[in-house]
Every structure is written in C-alpha cells, then in structure tokens.
C-alpha cells in the first residue's frame, strides 16, 4: 500500500498511509481505538475503497473491490473478534472460514503435513 487515504463524512480515517508486506509474512495490526486499523485492513481486503493511494501486489498495481479479489491475490485477513472462535494456530486462523474453498483444499492438507513435520 502506498499513500492510501480514506475519509468518511467529517472524519479523516487514513491519510497517506504506506505499508509493505513481503510474500508469506504474517502481521498483526495493533493500535489505539480510532487509529484506522480496521479501515486500512478493510481497504486491503476489499470492504472499502481508498480515496487515494495505490495497492500493489508483486510490484503491480491492483484493484481490490471484493474480498474474493483479495483472496485471489493471496491476501487473507483474520478479523479482530478473537472471542468468536477457539484458540487456533496461525495456519488455522488464516484458513478459518475458507475450508471449503476448492483452491485451498489441497493446500490445507499439504500445510498441515508440513507443520507436523516441523513440530
């Protein structure tokens, strides 16, 4: 993300925000209430559209208008409401809610096998 901005009536939620994440990294977005965390992640995941700035994946500008767009680009998000489900590993959280996705079925089995091997 580079130079991302988002306003709502009477509120500047984000102003010139940039964030770089390398392929395969897992991050947590942490901050005070009202800092713009949810707005930023909602833009990255296609729930909101930025008023300014650019999103690039693999160095190429992309348009993310739905969560399906984000998923197709390899972007996943685990929402902040941690009390809705049991404690899970990072992998289990990433695939939460997508277990029946045809693109993920074989990857899930491979990932679990690899994690078991590493433990």
**What's 17's domain CATH number?**
3.40.50.300
Does 73 lie in the same domain as 27? yes
Establish how many alpha carbons lie within 13 A of residue 69's alpha carbon, considering only the half-sphere containing its beta carbon. Answer: 17
- 64: its two tokens: 């993310």
Looking up tokens 């102003």 gives 15
Name the percent of the chain lying above pLDDT 70: 82
Residue range 71-96, pLDDT digits in tens: 999 888 876 665 566 677 777 766 66
Q: Which of 104, 49, 94 is nearest to 72 (CA)?
A: 104
Domain encompassing residue 113: 79-119
* Cα–Cα distance list, 99 to 16, 61, 81, 94, 104 (Å): 35, 29, 19, 10, 7
Does 85 lie in the same domain as 50? no
Residue range 60-72, pLDDT digits in tens: 999 999 999 999 9
Does 41 lie in the same domain as 69? yes
């Amino acid at each position: 993300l580079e130079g991302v901005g988002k306003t709502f009536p009477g509120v500047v939620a984000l102003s010139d925000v940039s964030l770089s994440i390398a392929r395969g990294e897992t991050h947590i977005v942490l901050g005070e209430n009202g800092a713009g965390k949810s707005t930023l992640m909602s833009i990255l995941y296609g729930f909101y559209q930025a008023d300014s700035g650019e999103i690039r994946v693999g160095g190429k500008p992309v348009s993310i208008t739905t969560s399906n767009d984000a998923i197709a680009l390899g972007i996943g998000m685990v929402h902040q409401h941690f009390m809705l489900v049991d404690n899970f590993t990072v992998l289990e959280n990433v695939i939460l809610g997508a277990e029946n996705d045809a693109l993920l079925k074989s990857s899930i089995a491979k990932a679990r096998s690899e994690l078991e091997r590493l433990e």
